[in-house]
Amino acid sequence: GQQVMQIPQYQHVQEGEDFTTYCNSSTTLSNIQWYKQRPGGHPVFLIQLVKSGEVKKQKRLTFQFGEAKKNSSLHITATQTTDVGTYFCADENSGGSNYKLTFGKGTLLTVNP
């Protein structure tokens, strides 16, 4: 079935450094959603990318969707301690009555102050 791979699994940075997590699929993605889960918390929706080559920004976060819709990335500029958490990408199977999300394993980001 549909699989979404994320790399790296873990990333430790010094505060102020940049961070990028990558999401890849062997098949074309319907659309990509990104979620953040703080330690002990639940996934919180960040953004959805739908169009090929789409780029969206939220303050220090930049999200990209690949031209072939088989990969996506999340880049954080100048990380802060509040960025700590696990970042998940998820593909939405938007066909018929099926709207389930298929999540990657996530990238755990830790930030050293």
Partner 1 sequence: DTGVSQDPRHKITKRGQNVTFRCDPISEHNRLYWYRQTLGQGPEFLTYFQNEAQLEKSRLLSDRFSAERPKGSFSTLEIQRTEQGDSAMYLCASSSPNSGDGDTQYFGPGTRLTVL
Given the rule CB under 8 A, which residues bind partner 1? 33, 41-45, 48, 88, 90, 97-106
> What residue has token string 């990104």?
34
| CB of residue 78 to partner 1, shortest distance in Å | 26
* 56-103-81 Cα angle (round to 5): 60
- For partner 1, which is the closer residue by CB, 19 or 88? 88
| CB of residue 11 to partner 1, shortest distance in Å | 14
Task: Provide CB contacts within 8 A for 97, sequence distance 6+.
Answer: none
Torsion on CA atoms 111, 80, 101, 9, rounded to nearest 10: -20
Cβ atoms within 10 A of the Cβ of 36, count? 19
- For partner 1, which is the closer residue by CB, 13 or 101? 101
- For partner 1, which is the closer residue by CB, 24 or 102? 102
- For partner 1, which is the closer residue by CB, 6 or 79? 6
